Structure 1
């Protein structure tokens, strides 16, 4: 008697999910794939759909409109970035979808790798007078965390308010002992979507991947670097970790701070009025940039749209540094179309990644790249974790978003798009230097003759790409 009841219950649940897919599905191919999984893989198909398949843009996890007004662009009558009309359309796209307009009165410092980045961060934090806001996907115990703890203790004693937001999965190893020390000295902490059984299925796949520091609403840091000692000492498997970060001073910092206080409210339930923080504009330099937040609750696929637009706007060159390039159909076609149209498209990534399955999936697309004339560079001197895109000496992008389904659809990300020719040229020079240290793949005929077992493994991994 029990078995028929369970079967009937399962069928009812499956039919409910089918109705949800038909009402809320976005891509027909993806909808069909989930329908097949639900009816051909008993129980597991339903669980996989709950974990990975639901359309968060229709059924939002969080309703930000009820808590915060959209971030409005600052009024900059004299803000006129020196970019072509095609690139100017991208700035309008960002403004329309995120309400983050161009800010012009900024100083920008490019930071490469952990040592230089953390020296700059520690120096800035030491100078804090009012508040320090930190938000990280990975925050691990170790030398860096201990040094921050020491600084925090001194700053709290000087009446500086410190808030630390960390992701529940990315920072899962962060010890309770360390968190207690933070609490004891007066640091406020919050965990984004903690690893709890009751919310496990609903939240596991949606992580906050942002890395942000804001100090007194005057200095901001963001990019790819987490709080982890592997940025100082590397690790046994991948060697030294290489990454790119930005130090920002000026108007754009206010956008980073508003993004932090929004995420802080989502994680802690404590509302911090962004309007209470004064915007610190400076006029020493006029670097034009836009902060681009994205996440599964957005009305549009913001990061995918921006990346797609930049790729399509490229006329001379498009250089990408990213360890996790697992493109969906639109991004793949855009990359191939650019290369076939005569654009110099190059991809720089590490020889391997920190997850073997992801590595196989990344390599599954190499043959398509090479066939279209895209050059691939495999960096061997450690693990290249940067998320960088350079286009035509007009746009330089640095941040947290990879070119995979997880970053484009599921994670909360933050990317900076800079419209500055000098920075683009400097980063392009750095790109070429890293390419000189790398193994180049540019022979399609040679690559397609790789062993069939590699093709089989990569083909299987490619099937899982929507989940990675």
Structure 2
């Protein structure tokens, strides 16, 4: 009798193992995009009964994208009162000129990816470091008469944070409608947090997606990494600068950080505002609409621009595909500045193909990263592009947090996205696509200034690292999809 029970139990266990393996393998086959990843998971599932299926359920299913889509699909999306007129093709063609006609297809690509129109008549001014950005932002808040919407990843409780707190408090006292959105993890970079001070001052505040783990964790997913400020619906700021004293280089902070931010005027400000309003609605349920937040915007300059939201929701991989399209469209030069460089296989291939086509590809990276694990992983990958002709430049301190890309000295991409999986797949970002020769020339001079101070990394240097260092970097690279 016992023998029959044991035998039946073994048969039942085997049947369950087979069913679980078949279901897990089918899920991997149907959902995984990368063939090698699919083969690896199916092999693990089949060769390690039950254990492989458990590991696949735990690690292999992309819950990040699914969770973001589910959470953000149920809230009401605000709509601008008036939709700005899309840029006519003739204006874009005239802006690019005969030697930039090939970039018209890039504009079409991003239109199809983002679903947002290019807008003409914008003015976009680079602001270097917090020394230029903070005074301009504070002045705009001080002069606000209708509304202020401020979204940021980090809002530190330091001298800079206190200046913004004071300006926002005075704006509320003037009956200006103020809304502040801080990422919940980014709000915890200083203690006591600025969120408490803002609430105490009576400033309407929301924190973006509080995680289950209620303390700082720099690799937490589904964060909003966007940095936007819109005043009276017609003056915008965006870029890579957080609200913290480290960006104020003139004050000689303990951990200085270089960066770029941008003052924006013109119709594209409505797209910046729309992204904030969408996030605010998601976090609070309040819909920001009407002329208070979305006034009619007159032309303010000559830049043709578009906002590109990106995140693991309906905008999934929008900026990744934009970067791939830009690299494929380049005919002369590509200039990249980024603090975190952990590109996936598709971006590595695109960079190499551009270099092999004869395009001058310059990539500027900081010598001393603020996250050691990221620097180790990045170093382990650099041989793949240096060996194909991409030029990698290592810039000296202070740590350079700048994020920009210029193609053929005609089109520029600026904003909050880094060249890593965290920015391109796991977090919420915002970037501007800009077609304008003077702006591109200005940003090219920024890149060239970085390069003049930098050291060009060679393949011999990478190969000459000590074996323990290579092993350390190689092991760190294994974690690159999560860094």
TM-score, normalisation: structure 1: 0.88
How far apart in 2 are the matches of 1:116 and 1:302? Answer: 30
Query: Could you tell me which residue of structure 1 aligns to residue 447 of structure 2?
Result: 431
Instruction: Write the distance in 1 (CA, Å) between the matches of 2:23 and 2:76.
Output: 31
What residue number does 1:290 align with?
306
User: How far apart, CA to CA, are the structure 1 residues paired with 2:56 and 2:86?
Assistant: 50
The Cα shift of 1:281 comes to 2.5
Q: 2:213, 2:25 → 1: CA distance?
A: 25
Partner of 1:26: 33
Please name the residue that 1:74 is paired with: 85
**What is the Cα deviation at residue 221 of structure 1?**
0.5
Say how many residue pairs are matched: 458
Structure 1 pair 451/227, CA: closer, same or farther in 2 (3 Å)?
same
Q: 1:109 to 1:369 in 2, by over 3 A?
A: same
Task: Note the C-alpha offset of 1:93.
Answer: 2.0
Task: Give unpaired runs (5+ residues) of structure 1.
Answer: none
- 2:282 counterpart of 1:271: no
Q: Which residue of 1 aligns with 2:65?
A: 56
- Which is higher, the Rg of structure 1 or of structure 2? 2
Give the alignment of 1:332-371 within 5 angstroms. 332-371=348-387
Tell me the CA shift for residue 57 of structure 1. 5.8
**TM-aligned CA distance change 1:59 to 1:379, over 3 Å:** closer
Structure 1, 109-118 or 61-70: larger mean CA deviation: 61-70
Query: Is the contact made by 2:265 and 2:300 (CA closer than 8 Å) also made in structure 1?
Result: no
C-alpha displacement of 1:165: 0.6
Give distance in 2, aligned partners of 1:458 and 1:162. 46
- Distance in 1 (alpha carbons) for counterparts of 2:291 and 2:111: 20
Query: Residues of 2 paired with 1:163 and 1:391: CA distance?
Result: 36
Alpha carbons of 1:440 and 1:43: their partners in 2 closer, same or farther (altered >3 Å)?
A: same
> Which one is further off, 88-97 or 248-257?
88-97
SS in 2 for 1:296: coil
Match of 1:221 in 2: 237
Distance 1:9 1:266, change over 3 A: farther
**Residues 217 and 279, structure 1, Cα contact 8 Å, conserved in 2:** yes
- Per the alignment, in what secondary structure is the counterpart of residue 331 of structure 1? helix
Q: For each residue in 1:317-353, what CA deviation from the matched residue of structure 2 results, as whole angstroms up to 9, or x when unmatched?
A: 1110001111111100110111111111111110021
* Structure 2: stretches of 5+ with no match in the other structure: 1-9
Measured in 2, the distance between the counterparts of 1:98 and 1:274 equals 24
Report matched runs for 1:66-465 at 5 Å. Answer: 67-68=76-77, 74-77=85-88, 79-81=91-93, 82-83=95-96, 84-173=100-189, 175=191, 178-196=194-212, 204-232=220-248, 233=251, 236=254, 239-273=255-289, 277-298=293-314, 300-441=316-457, 443-465=458-480
After superposition, the CA RMSD in angstroms is 3.2
CA distance in 1, matches of 2:191, 2:397: 31
